[in-house]
Amino acid sequence: MQDSGEELAKFSTCDVADGLLNLHSIVDGGYFPNLTQYSQRSKVSVVGRAYTVLFAPVDDPRPAVNYIDAISKGCFLVIALSKELQTPYAPYVKVTQACYGGLMSTRAKYQGAVGSVIFGRVRDIEEHRALEYPVFSYGLGACAPKMAIKPVAINVPLEILCIDGADKIIKPADYIVGDEHGVVRIPGDMDMAALLEYMKTSVEADELVVQDINAGVPAKQAQKERREVLQRFL
If 0-12 CB within 10 Å is exposed, 13-18 middle and 19+ buried, where does residue 4 land? middle
Least distance from ligand OAA to the Cβ atom of residue 122, Å: 9
- Torsional sign, CA 187, 193, 197, 198: negative
DSSP 32: E
Least distance from Ni ion to the Cβ atom of residue 191, Å: 41
Close Cβ partners of 200 (under 8 Å, ≥ 6 residues apart): none
Tell me how crowded residue 69 is: count the other CB atoms within 10 A of its CB. 8
Q: Which residue is nearest to ligand OAA (CB)?
A: 101
145 binding partner (options ligand OAA, Ni ion, none; Cβ < 5 to 8 Å by kind):
ligand OAA
DSSP 225: H
Polymer length in residues for the chain = 234
Residue 122 vs 170, nearer CB to ligand OAA: 122
Residue 123 vs 168, nearer CB to ligand OAA: 123
Residue 102 counted as an annotated binding residue: yes
Residue 99 vs 192, nearer CB to Ni ion: 99
104 binding partner (options Ni ion, ligand OAA, none; Cβ < 5 to 8 Å by kind):
ligand OAA
Least distance from Ni ion to the Cβ atom of residue 102, Å: 5
Binding site per annotation, positions for Mg(2+): 124
